């Protein structure tokens, strides 16, 4: 009897340079709020302070809303042969992006494979769900190529070794060979990978 398999992966894009941009935008927002309030108070006096404060509060709420919407996470769920990819915006709304069967994949393999570049050019829809926006070309990044209706779709993801068994179980002919890293002990007794 074959046991059910379930693999879940949660990916958050690393901010990197976005962190500096976000701090700069917070600083700029503070300057705009202070300038609007001082300008309103200096030109129109005390009665205008109510309007400028309401404008400031509206700016803050708008900024917080946009800030939360820019925070993006992805969920990848592999349940038996079904792969589901969803995008989570602002830690609240979930949008399904891809839902397909591993059995329908044309090819599954690492981005270091010889056929990756030609498959990338053939793909009409490409979705990279990795920790960094510009993923490195290395064995830890894999892609799944499949056809849906008239489109060729490619999902690029951070590979976990437990995924390989599931890929091979449901689509053995179209999965690249995976060589698992072997732990070796060096002369001092420490493990090397």
Give the Cα separation of 103 and 6 in Å (integer).
Answer: 16
The predicted-structure confidence for 64-89, as pLDDT tens digits, reads as follows 877 776 677 889 999 988 999 998 87
Q: How far is CA 127 from the centre of its chain?
A: 9
Q: What is the pTM of this model?
A: 0.69
Determine the pLDDT at residue 1: 46
Q: What is the average pLDDT score of the chain? A: 83
| pLDDT tens-digit map of 24-42 | 888 888 888 888 888 888 8
pLDDT score recorded for residue 59: 87
State the angle between helix axes of 47-69 and 17-44 in degrees (0 to 180), rounded to the nearest 10: 170
d(CA 144, CA 131): 17
- 193 pLDDT tier (thresholds 50, 70, 90): low
Q: How far apart are CA 20 and CA 23, in angstroms?
A: 5
The pLDDT tens digits for 91-115 are 777 889 999 999 999 999 999 999 9
DSSP 124-180: SEEEEESSSSS--SSTTEEEEEEEETTEEEEEEEE--HHHHHHHHHH-GGGB-----
With a cut of 80, say whether residue 118 has pLDDT above it.
yes
């Amino acid at each position: 009897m074959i046991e059910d398999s379930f693999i879940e992966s949660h990916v958050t894009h690393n901010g990197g340079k976005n962190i500096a941009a976000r701090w700069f935008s917070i600083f700029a927002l503070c300057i705009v709020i202070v300038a609007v309030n001082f300008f309103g108070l200096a030109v129109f006096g005390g009665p205008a302070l109510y309007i400028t404060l309401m404008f400031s509060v509206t700016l803050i709420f708008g900024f917080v809303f946009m800030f939360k919407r820019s925070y993006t996470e992805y969920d990848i769920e592999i349940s038996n042969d079904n792969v589901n990819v969803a995008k989570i915006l602002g830690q609240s709304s979930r949008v399904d992006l891809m839902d397909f069967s591993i059995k329908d994949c044309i090819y599954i393999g690492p981005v270091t494979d010889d056929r990756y570049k030609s498959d990338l050019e053939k793909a009409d829809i490409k979705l990279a769900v990795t920790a960094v926006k510009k993923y490195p070309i290395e064995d830890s990044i894999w892609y799944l190529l499949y056809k849906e209706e008239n489109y060729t779709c490619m999902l690029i993801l951070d590979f976990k070794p437990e995924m390989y068994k599931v890929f091979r179980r449901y689509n053995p002919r179209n999965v690249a060979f995976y060589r698992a890293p072997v732990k070796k002990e060096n002369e001092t007794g420490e493990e090397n990978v």
